[in-house]
Amino acid sequence: MIIDAHIHLDQYDEKERVKILSSLEENHVENLIAVSFDMESCLKTQTLCLADSRIKPAYGFHPEQDIPSFDLLDKLFSWMEQQVTNMIAVGEVGLPYYKKLESKEPLQYKPYIDLLERFIEFASKWKKPIILHAVYEDAATVCDLLEKHGVSSAHFHWFKGDPAVVERMIQNGYFISITPDVLYEEEIQELVKKYPIERMMVETDGPWPFEGQFTGLVTEPKMIYYSIEKIAELKNITTEETERILYENTKMFYRL
């Protein structure tokens, strides 16, 4: 069995979503960790998980967008507290690395850091894992915040970063998840070689599209099997053992 550790299920169109859910059993996909983008996305994810117990919801605010008003954020946090027994994690949250790169003017980072710290405090208070969008230099800032609040159940999805922060994350016991781009991105392949497989999961980040042999295809959880084969090759262990370890890692981390 496999588990997709990070998917934006609510962002698929209805036809694609129905196809994915109807094929989970035949593709031996046990669960989907469905992350959310904003308040509207949280509500959509909630509706999906109530209709299908294989969908495990995470609620949060994706950082690659403008921060809403304090009132809207208060509404989101209040709603999340009401859902705390049903949500599997806080996420997706983090820092706006790509928004910063694309911005024509310097992006004010402090509001994003303050908001992320609020989500980390929430995760700490309710003892929930946290799913993080934090790459390159942003990852060090996120590590600072996690350490400050004593949060160790951290999942850095689709992570990229320099050797120093990778080593710091390994020492702190943080998890990463690998997407299908491991088949063609040397940077991700090098990360897989370096990072302990005991702290690794696999994801699609669907509906985000991939290149290489996946060009033009709708991103589906079954693509994870290709990732597992490549991880096995890079780690020089069997595909079967790799699949077992990654599955058990995800079950343990998300308390499934």
pLDDT in tens, the chain (256 residues): 999 999 999 999 999 999 999 999 999 999 999 999 999 999 999 999 999 999 999 999 999 999 999 999 999 999 999 999 999 999 999 999 999 999 989 999 999 999 999 999 999 999 999 999 999 999 999 999 999 999 999 999 999 999 999 999 999 999 999 999 999 999 999 999 999 999 999 999 999 999 999 999 999 999 999 999 999 999 999 999 999 999 999 999 999 9
CATH 3.40.47.10 is right for the domain spanning 2-253:
no
DSSP E strands, 10-139: 29-34, 55-59, 89-94, 130-133
Kindly calculate the radius of gyration of the chain based on its CA atoms and give it in whole angstroms.
Answer: 17
Give domain limits for the chain: 2-253
pTM: 0.97
251 vs 211: CA distance, rounded Å: 29
Query: Element (H or E) spanning 99, and its range?
Result: helix 97-102
10 vs 239: CA distance, rounded Å: 30
